[in-house]
Amino acid sequence: MKSKLVAYIEKDVESGSYVAFVPGIPGAHTQADTLDELQVKLKEVIELCLEEMDPEERKNLPQFVGIQQIEVAV
């Protein structure tokens, strides 16, 4: 069965590499120097994590709702 998941991706300012994680899947995180490399590595780690999860846990993964930008005074 195929699933579409949402990954959170940041660019590390110091190293210039990309870091990604998938909320709700423990251990589903990786990093890479390019976005293309990151996508390949993230897909691999997600597949490994899902294989290790109980089928009931997989049914209850969080659903992506959206992103909201919040303005705060600093």
Measured CA angle at 13 (ends 40, 27), to 5 deg:
40
Domain ranges across the chain: 8-59
Rounded distance between C-alpha atoms, residue 23 and residue 64, angstroms: 9
Interval 14-36: pLDDT, tens: 999 999 999 989 999 999 999 99
Phi-psi region of 16 (alpha: psi -120 to 50; beta: other; left: phi over 0): left
CB atoms within 10 A of CB 45: 18
Asked if residue 62 has pLDDT above 90, the reply is: no
Band (pLDDT 50/70/90 cuts) for residue 1 is low
Q: What CATH number does the domain located at 8-59 have? A: 3.30.160.250
pLDDT (0 to 100) of residue 34:
97
Report the length, in residues, of the chain: 74
